[in-house]
Amino acid sequence: MTGGMRLLAVVATAAFAATGCASGSSTSGGSGGTAVNGGILQAGIPGNPDHLDPALSYTNEGWEILEATNNGLLTFKKAAGGAGAQVVPDIASAMPTVTDGGKTYTFHVRPGVKFSSPVNRDVRPSDFKFSIERLFRVDSGGVGFFTGIVGANQYAKTRKGGISGIVADDKKGTITFHLSKPDGTFDDYMATPFAFAMPVGTPDKDISTIPQWRIATGPYRITDYVPHQSITIRRNPTFRSWTPDTPNGHLDGIDVHIGVTPEQAVNETADGQLDWYFESVPPDRLTALKKQYPNQVFPFTRNNTTFFVMNERKYPFNKLAVRQAVNYAIDRNALVKIYGGQGTPTENILPPGFGAAYKPHHLYPHDIAKAKQLIQQAGVEGAAVTVWGHNTEPTPAAVQYLAGVLNQIGLKATVKTFDESVYWDTIASEKGDPQIAFNDWNEDYPEAQDWIDVMLNGEHIVNVGNNDISNTNVPAYNKLIDKAKAMPLGPARDAIWAKLDYLLMKNDAGWAPFMNRQWPKFVSSRLHGLVFNGTYFELFPSMWLSH
């Protein structure tokens, strides 16, 4: 998924690598000392989180909060680094039994996990069936993960009769999912908050602002939410830790102040008024902060690719030579400078965090002369081009850089920026249809499928909500993608992703990737225990405050 306020996934750097164990009582990531219990974390967020309803939230702000309050059958291990990409059982007592050639997943629901008041009872298998069906009834953005379940598409249309492919047996304590095709990433989907348990009877609308339905199963619960003002999170009295992977949490609670700008956050964190901010440090403040508060700045790397996307259906980017020219023309090091040095230059589609699926290639060394030549040969000199971007710095600087470069190689470029809140929808719709646009992508789940299948498989091109913004559609590659998707996770699958990365950049070049971005965080001096998980972002239950 794309950047900004959307879900961002993080893989922590070496400076922060967890000691491996998640013993539930203390995680020594970051500044030293043993964890102490107590204290209310003062957190800031620039605007309302998109939702506090697990069925609807699809941004990292929402998932960060919901990870601390709710649980699903599975979870990504509550750890940092590569460990945090591993799926482990949560409310399920063990990993699912997979049968029928990868099409049937059977889970046992652990007894004794309670919903908080006023529901006040154990979580049952029927609650999971209800929760997933509810996704379709509330028009959740996450339904796409579950359309592979038998009967889901019919249910999406009729909303009657439940999803036949989900069989819940409360007496036996099991729940079974029948998929229409094998999908190696089904476990990952079940670890996202969309699959978190909600009690049967939860109304078919956004319960973010309905207190009696904001039910928790985790160590914390949301006790109050005043939009544009605050979110109050306190300990959940009905919670009992059930595995080492479900930490108790050290904080007594979290006070989230809504409406804090990034600049305000920097000032207030320096003052000690604020402990932690949902967003990262404005890149230009970084140098001064690193000098003044070296122990309070953490450079977190995420699985991210930042790139310019070119529309293969629109002149002049309908010519391969022109797209290659753009790749030759940009100086990736200059772009990294625009981002305050907070990233590493790249030409690859996939980010480095994907292990064997990532094989760096260098197809397009910076060469303005070559780019100019390609433009001339393609006969598109003087073509009018509008570069699109959103208006949160440093993106405007990046798109102006690109426009300047395009002008240098012989095109006639102008810039158009949109507010970030409408930008992502606009570039994904046919009505918008940019020629060339800024784009970035952060993981929904830690696998290359989330990049290549979602954004470069021609079979997924649609008129609205299109993620294949380059309209890349190479039938041979589409087949290769589908082949990889059906394979189980492992080196064979990774090898295909790496090959596709190379082939797509060489022969299609719908993208001009330039950077794998980092997002530094600045926290108060009393905050410790920061653990960065790829999917859930910073884990509240691991944080603690010194006095």
- Comparing CB distances to another protein, the nearer of 147 and 248 is 147
Buried-state track 61-99, b at ≥16 Cβ within 10 A, e below 16: bbbbbbbbbbbbbbbbbbbbbebbbebbbbbbeeebebe
Provide the sign of the torsion angle of the four alpha carbons 133, 138, 140, 143, taken in this order: positive
Provide φ and ψ at 41, rounded to 5°: -75, 130
- Comparing CB distances to another protein, the nearer of 21 and 288 is 288
254 sits in which H/E element: strand 253-258
Provide φ and ψ at 291, rounded to 5°: -75, -45
- Comparing CB distances to another protein, the nearer of 23 and 287 is 287
The two structure tokens encoding residue 390:
């959103």
Task: Give the number of other CB atoms < 10 A from CB of residue 141.
Answer: 18
Nearest distance from C-beta of residue 408 to another protein, angstroms: 9
C-alpha 323/C-alpha 175 separation (Å) is: 49
The two structure tokens encoding residue 429:
């719709």
Q: What DSSP string describes 443-497?
A: -SSSSTHHHHHHHH-GGG--SSS-S-TT----HHHHHHHHHHHHSPSSHHHHHHH
Nearest distance from C-beta of residue 506 to another protein, angstroms: 27
Helix (H, G, I), strand (E, B) or coil at 107: strand
Which residue in this structure is represented by tokens 């830790």? 241
Nearest distance from C-beta of residue 405 to another protein, angstroms: 8
- Comparing CB distances to another protein, the nearer of 139 and 482 is 139
- Comparing CB distances to another protein, the nearer of 235 and 370 is 370
Provide the sign of the torsion angle of the four alpha carbons 75, 52, 278, 141, taken in this order: positive
Any idea of the CA torsion for 351, 17, 94, 486, to the nearest 10 degrees? 10
- Comparing CB distances to another protein, the nearer of 15 and 464 is 464
- Comparing CB distances to another protein, the nearer of 109 and 329 is 329
- Comparing CB distances to another protein, the nearer of 84 and 432 is 432
Nearest distance from C-beta of residue 169 to another protein, angstroms: 29
The two structure tokens encoding residue 94:
């063990």
Nearest distance from C-beta of residue 211 to another protein, angstroms: 14
Nearest distance from C-beta of residue 43 to another protein, angstroms: 15
